[in-house]
Structure 1
Amino acid sequence: MTPADDAGPTGVHCRLDELLAEREMTLTHLSELVGVSVVNLSILKNDRARAIRYSTLAAICRALDCEIGDLLVRTD
């Protein structure tokens, strides 16, 4: 498998579910705060995303008051 291959696990886990639970925030509320659809946030939350814009990543981290490393962790 090549690094650009879109099949298979990425080796990155998104902790969005855990961070939302810690903050007692819904995915819908986060969607409203960051201007990203619930569907796209759900894809990210369920580790099915293949890419994320820096601006989206920054907006999510601002809304959750966290660092990028709190949101995305290596699993390999």
Structure 2
Amino acid sequence: MSGANPVGFGENRIDSLPDAISKVLKLFLNSGITEDEEVEEMSNTSVDICPSCGKSTFVRQEGCYNCLDCGHSKCG
């Protein structure tokens, strides 16, 4: 069953939200990464809300905070 606005072409085509979710789950299950490895990888990164754009893409890198979306930076 397809949604009203499919996106993409060929094998990368997404027909609906359930189709997208199933494709992501297949990729995750076939990647060989365990949940423990994923949680450990995520815990090594500090993410915060960017004061400039308001997105949760403000990360600490090399002693400074940088927004991965808008480029806002804060050191110190």
- TM-score using structure 2 length: 0.23
Which structure is higher in helix share? 1
Which structure is higher in strand share? 2
Query: Which of 1 and 2 has higher RCO (CA within 8 Å, sep 6+)?
Result: 1
Greater Rg by CA? 2
